[in-house]
Amino acid sequence: MQFELTRKYIEDLKEAIVRNDEIALIELLQDLHPADLGEILGELDVVESTVVYKVLDADRASDVLTFMEEDRRDKFLASLSSREIAEQLIDNLDSDDAADMLNLFSQEQKEEIISMIEDRQQAQDIVDLLHYEEGTAGSLMAKELIKVNINWTVSNSVREMRKQAESIEHVYTVYVVDDEGCLVGRLPIKRLLLTPLKTRIADIYDSKIRSVGVDEDQEDIASMMEKYDLVALPVVDELGRLQGRITIDDVVDIIKEEAERDYALASGISGDVDSSDTVYRLTRARLPWLLIGLIGGVLGARVIELYEGDLQLYPEMAFFIPLIAAMGGNAGVQSSAIIVQGLANKSMGMSGILPKLGKEFMVGLLNGIVCAALILLYNIAFGDSLDLSYTVSAALLSVIVIATLFGTFVPLLLDKYDIDPALATGPFITTVNDVLGLFIYFMIGHLLYI
Amino acid sequence: MQFELTRKYIEDLKEAIVRNDEIALIELLQDLHPADLGEILGELDVVESTVVYKVLDADRASDVLTFMEEDRRDKFLASLSSREIAEQLIDNLDSDDAADMLNLFSQEQKEEIISMIEDRQQAQDIVDLLHYEEGTAGSLMAKELIKVNINWTVSNSVREMRKQAESIEHVYTVYVVDDEGCLVGRLPIKRLLLTPLKTRIADIYDSKIRSVGVDEDQEDIASMMEKYDLVALPVVDELGRLQGRITIDDVVDIIKEEAERDYALASGISGDVDSSDTVYRLTRARLPWLLIGLIGGVLGARVIELYEGDLQLYPEMAFFIPLIAAMGGNAGVQSSAIIVQGLANKSMGMSGILPKLGKEFMVGLLNGIVCAALILLYNIAFGDSLDLSYTVSAALLSVIVIATLFGTFVPLLLDKYDIDPALATGPFITTVNDVLGLFIYFMIGHLLYI
């Protein structure tokens, strides 16, 4: 039951656009979800998109913008007048999406658009939302919700709920407030179904309800909704007055973005880029991490230079330089990834840094012994000198253990000082461990071999 | 409003356990969500946990198990008799959680437990769910839902809904079925509130509804619910009969696990491990990737060995071995990560492999030119021979471009053959690019320098 975008479909659509065949277009686009439409527009050029856009009904025409790629959407918005934006788009969006969209404009244009919104309640809601700082509960919530007063009767409440429900797509929860507008609980829909109309809400509402303050951080909200399996979360101001609600679909995006951000950082990509971005943006997101690698490489060159004389006498020492450097990097990245994910999931338990280092020491030791033994067998079997074989294995074991400890320690340290531990994975850890590994290798070489 | 686990709290709890002070225990645990209880039990030993567990009410006692760490939960379940499991746990769980839990037992014990479930409807539901293959819609859905017949009146429906609502925590959607039990649409709660009691459901229901078949893959379901912002999704059998529903909280876990899995693979960790796992499990998850690195290192050693004579004459060639190897690895991982995320998000558009390679070629070229220029300046400034400087820069540029293309191509190729492209990131790409880089370096060295 999911729409699948095919080449055939896009060709049909383009043909209909060329023929300017409005009836064919409407038929092709009918019943498609705005998310699908956003995907389709991504395959068309700007002129074609405009033709498609014009035949959409008002609701989808505004919703599709929230599903479009940024660059494309910005071009679109730039081609519309403030009045068109206010009347055709903002009026039809939920307050939170409308506020997000308004934030794309300059202060001046923002005010102009707001002054042209016909639905004054919507305009007020949007202005309220614009006050909250980005990344807080306030900026994430929508003002649309259903609330009843604790002093009302069921029949009163049902009448009021009908009015409120008109502007709402999903009724997740009916909130109960007191005369000051403070959140006091929720009214389960099933109790509403089960109770005589004269019953007072005070007698049937459920006072157990979780809420967050308007200033709460969005990542904390995401982890809270995930932990407690919440689909909607009410937001209250400093006085406890109900201000809005956050729904799970907004939070799914945050959870996903967070996980993707850690992944991107671990792979040496900063910022939120994807393969459809421009060459310039893609390059800019990657270059800083390559430069870190470059600095590491230069430091590595300096380390080896210290042992230039030895290399001249024992060039076979050079054979295992990449092995030692790579294994340090790999082992370090593994440990730091475990820690970063543990911190992100709050699944680290309450033990301190030392027990964690102790455990990772054991893991590093086991992995190191296996790898060192294998490489020793290989070297002996393929006739390298015994001394060189011992050197390589001893260095490999040391490097794996030290890199493992280092990869554990750095993200824990960063987290302690409230720096994002994900910064420590990927190129940074690899690079430091590369250089460290070379030092260890040549030092052990001096002891055992040279 | 989120419970925060503190050392103080755990100490108080442990003290109450030692004193066997049931009243203090009940007070400490009161109002805590099963998710919090699961976290708390993770900090206690098995004996302490059992004491805490005994004072929980039936609902929380069963729910907490779904939030407990696997090892701990399995020990717990092993200490209970089949009758206790059937009556105290399975009866109080939602059908999907109950089926998941039953899957932990042997076939024999499973049947024994099922025969002891008192609520026969629950037993039937669970048996139905156990038939579905893991990872499909059928295995993910719960049987609990609210449905009304299209031929009923509103008053009929409300009466039936009351009965059905008793076993359900959240009423997301009221489904509408025909006399054969086939899903035909949904009944928005707000229409129910707005309509006279005699109205027939057929006149007010909404026939637009998305559903999935019982065999649909869970990752497809997750991406569908995410794309369309769905909070619940009905599941139908081959004849279109309504079988159950999947809710967003189940899907949030899948979305998160998927993202985490890609991250773990990119960092060289296989399987679902976290820092609380045993040393043995942690080692086993990492060793295979270290062994790939080891093989790469050995191949690298072989490559350098080919040029042993050159190294004896020009030991300074060795200085830049780690730089070249590391930069190839870094650039390759960056490209493959971009592709893997694009594939996971289905945001790759419909262009073929060639345009993507063309774009990445440009990115690689830009990054390569910047890095090669910088290292050239460095080498000239710090007095390395001009020929060596040219060699290093030319090799670096080639390595970055080739590694970038390689990192783009491999995951696309794997995806084409339905192999998980995430396997290509991390140690595999790094290792291949290490070896490739060394070849290029020495070949260019031969051309320009040696």
Whether residue B172 and residue A231 make contact (CB cut-off 8 A), yes or no, is yes
Token couple for B163: 């009965």
pLDDT score at A274: 79
Contacts of A347 in chain B (CB under 8 A): 274-276
Q: Among all chains, which residue has been given the structure tokens 């809270």? A: A224
B291 contacts in A (CB within 8 Å)? 371, 374
Same domain, A101 and A199: no
Burial of A371 (0-12, 13-18, 19+ CB in 10 A): buried
Rounded CA-CA distance B3/B13 in Å is 15
Shortest CA gap A80–chain B (Å): 26
Q: How far is B82 from chain A (nearest CA, A)?
A: 29
Confidence of residue A350 (pLDDT cuts 50, 70, 90): low
Q: How far is A269 from chain B (nearest CA, A)?
A: 6
Measured in angstroms, the CA of A198 and the nearest CA of chain B are apart by 16
- Asked whether residue A274 is domain-assigned, the answer is no
Does any domain span residue B228?
yes
Domain identity same for B66 and B197: no
> Which carries the bigger pLDDT value, residue A248 or residue B271?
A248
Token pair recorded at residue A34: 């705005």
Does A297 score more than 80 pLDDT?
A: yes
Could you give the number of structural domains in chain A?
A: 3
**Burial call A39-65: b when 16+ CB within 10 Å, e when fewer:** bbbbbbeeebbebbbebbeeebbbbbb
Q: Are B252 and A252 in contact (CB under 8 A)?
A: yes
How many alpha carbons fall within 13 Å on the CB side of residue A85? 25
- Give the residues across from B174 on adjacent strands: B146, B187
E strands, A230-290, in order:
232-236, 242-247
Determine the Cα–Cα distance for residues A149 and A182; give it in Å rounded to an integer. 10
Asked if residue A160 has pLDDT above 80, the reply is yes
pLDDT digit string, tens, across residues A413-448: 888 888 888 887 777 888 888 889 999 999 998 888
Kind plus residue range of the DSSP H or E element containing A164 = helix A154-165
- Which among A165, A263, A430 has CB closest to B341? A263
Which residue on chain A is closest to B298 by alpha carbon?
A: A323
Phi/psi-derived region of residue A268, left when phi > 0, alpha when psi is between -120 and 50, beta in every other case: left
Q: Which residue from A268, A308, A333 is facing B334, i.e. has the nearest CB?
A: A268
Which residue intervals of A82-151 are DSSP H helices? 82-84, 95-102, 107-115, 120-130, 137-140
d(CA A100, CA A107): 13
User: Is B267 a domain residue?
Assistant: no
- Residues A244 and A333 both lie in one domain: no
Give yes or no: residues B302 and B425 share one domain. Answer: yes
3-state secondary structure of A153: strand
Q: Where is average pLDDT lowest: A71-80, A142-151, A306-315?
A: A71-80
Look at the alpha carbons of A383, A388, A390, A395 in this order and tell me if their dihedral is positive or negative.
negative
Q: Report residue A70 CA to chain centroid gap.
A: 16
Q: pLDDT-based confidence at A364, cuts 50/70/90? A: very high
Q: Which of B99, B143, B142 is nearest to B117 (CA)?
A: B99
**Are B282 and A338 in contact (CB < 8 Å)?**
yes
Q: Which residues contact A437 (CB under 8 A, 6 or more apart)?
A: A324, A325, A327, A328, A329, A395, A399, A403
Do B190 and B314 sit in the same domain of this protein? no
Contacts of A330 in chain B (CB under 8 A): 268, 289-290, 293, 427, 430
CB pairs under 8 A between A and B: 367
Distance, in Å, from the CA atom of B355 to the CA atom of A206, rounded to the nearest integer, reads 58
What sign does the dihedral B402-B405-B408-B411 (CA atoms) show?
negative
**A182: helix, coil or strand?**
strand
What is the CA angle A39-A44-A46, rounded to 5?
A: 115
CB atoms A323 and B298 under 8 Å: yes
Question: Is B322 within 8 Å of A434 when comparing Cβ atoms?
Answer: yes
Q: Which residues are A245's β-sheet partners?
A: A142, A234
**pLDDT tens digits, residue range A137-156?**
999 998 888 899 999 998 88
Please give the residue of chain B at the shortest CA–CA distance from A277.
Answer: B359
Neighbours of B90 (CB within 10 A): 25
> Distance from A107 to chain B by nearest Cα, in Å?
30
A20 and A166 together in one domain: no
Question: What residues contact residue A141 under an 8 Å CB cut-off, 6+ apart?
Answer: A96, A129, A214, A235, A243, A244, A245, A246
Residue A313 lies in a domain: yes
- Whether B279 sits inside 8 A of A162 (CB atoms) is no
Residues A23, A117 within the same domain: yes
Instruction: Locate the chain A residue with the closest alpha carbon to B249.
Output: A229
SS3 A117: coil
> Are residues B389 and B436 located together in one domain of the fold?
yes
Mean pLDDT by 10 residues, chain B (450 residues): 79 90 89 88 84 85 83 80 83 85 86 87 88 90 91 88 75 89 89 81 92 92 88 93 90 84 84 80 88 90 88 87 90 90 76 84 94 93 84 94 93 88 80 89 85
Question: Which of these ranges, A163-167, A247-251, B54-58, has the smallest mean pLDDT?
Answer: A163-167
Q: Where are the beta strands (DSSP E) in A254-388?
A: none
Q: Is residue B261 one of the residues assigned to a domain? A: no
Q: What's the CATH number where A228 sits?
A: 3.10.580.10
Instruction: Note whether B231 and B336 are same-domain residues.
Output: no
State which residue of chain A sits closest to B336, comparing Cα positions: A267
Distance from CA of A87 to the nearest CA of B (A): 25
Of A153, A97, A161, nearest to A129 (Cα)? A97
Angle between helices A46-54 and A22-29 (to 10 degrees): 80
At B206, give phi and psi (nearest 5°).
Answer: -105, 115
Which residues in chain B have Cβ-Cβ distances shorter than 8 Å to A282?
338, 359, 363
Q: What pLDDT shows up at residue A1?
A: 54
Per the CB < 8 A criterion, the answer to whether B34 and B63 are in contact is yes
Return the residue in A171, A193, A275, A432 with the most chain B beta carbons within 10 A, the one to mutate for interface testing. A275
Report chain A's mean pLDDT, rounded to a whole number.
87
A146-149/A174-177 β-pairing: parallel
- Domain match, A131 and A151 both: no
Residue (of B140, B81, B139, B77) closest to B113 by Cα position: B81
The whole domain housing B11 covers: 7-135
Token pair for B85: 């499991």
B82: buried, middle or exposed (CB in 10 Å: 19+, 13-18, 0-12)?
middle
The CATH number of residue B428's host domain is: 1.10.357.20
- What residue of A is the nearest CA neighbor of B429? A267
Q: Are residues A308 and A419 in the same domain?
A: yes
CB B327 within 8 A of CB B400: yes
Residue B381 burial by Cβ neighbours in a 10 Å radius (0-12, 13-18, 19+): exposed
Does residue A180 sit within a domain?
yes
The answer to whether B435 touches B300, Cβ cutoff 8 Å, is yes
CA-based nearest distance B112→chain A, Å: 31
Partners of residue A5 in chain B, C-beta under 8 Å: 350
| Cβ contact A349–B42 (<8 Å) | yes
Using DSSP's 3-state secondary structure scheme, residue A346 falls into coil
pLDDT tens digits for range B106-137? 888 888 888 888 888 888 888 889 889 888 99
Cα A250 from Cα A239, distance rounded (Å): 25
Q: For residue B294, give the nearest of A171, A374, A435 by CB distance.
A: A374
Single out the residue in B232, B248, B264 at which a domain terminates: B248
How far is the alpha carbon of A180 from chain B, nearest alpha carbon, in Å? 21
CB contact at 8 A, B424 and B410: yes
Q: Phi, psi at residue A242, to the nearest 5°?
A: -65, 125
Tell me the longest C-alpha to C-alpha distance in chain B. 98
The beta-carbon neighbor of B301 closest among A293, A320, A356 is A320
Give the domain-ending residue among A135, A154, A185: A135
Do residue B298 and residue A375 have CB atoms under 8 angstroms apart? Answer: yes
Q: Do B267 and A2 touch (CB under 8 A)?
A: no
Taking CA–CA distances from B7, the nearest residue in chain A reads A350
A345 CB neighbour count, 10 Å cutoff: 16
Q: Which of A172, A193, A283 sits opposite B161 (nearest CB)?
A: A193
Residues B305 and B444 in one domain: yes
Q: Is A244 helix (H, G, I), strand (E, B) or coil?
A: strand
Domain membership of residue A264 (yes or no) is no
Residue A254 falls within a domain, yes or no? no
CATH number reported for the structural domain that contains residue A121 in this entry: 1.25.60.10
Task: For residue A406, give the 3-state DSSP assignment.
Answer: helix
Cβ-defined contact of B338 to A374 (cutoff 8 Å): no
A259–B264 CB contact, under 8 Å? no
Taking Cα atoms as reference points, which of B61, B50, B65, B63 lies closest to residue B17? Answer: B50
Cβ pair B266, A333 in contact under 8 A: no
- Pick the last residue of a domain from B135, B160, B181: B135
Q: Is A174 helix (H, G, I), strand (E, B) or coil?
A: strand
Exposed/middle/buried for residue A163 (C-beta within 10 Å: 0-12, 13-18, 19+)? exposed
Whether A94 contacts A119, CB under 8 Å: no
* Beta-sheet strands, E only, within A197-350: 212-213, 232-236, 242-247
Q: Residue A118's pLDDT band (boundaries 50, 70, 90)?
A: confident
Residue keyed to tokens 């190839």: B328
- Search chain B and give the residue with CA nearest A319: B301
Q: Are A327 and B290 in contact (CB under 8 A)?
A: yes
Can you state the percent helix, strand and coil of chain A, rounding each to 5? 65, 10, 25
DSSP code string of A200-243: BHHHH-B-----EETT-BHHHHHHHHHHTT-SEEEEE-TT-BEE
Q: Give the integer Cα–Cα distance in Å for A192 and A201.
A: 9
Rounded to whole angstroms, how far apart are CA atoms A147 and A160? 8
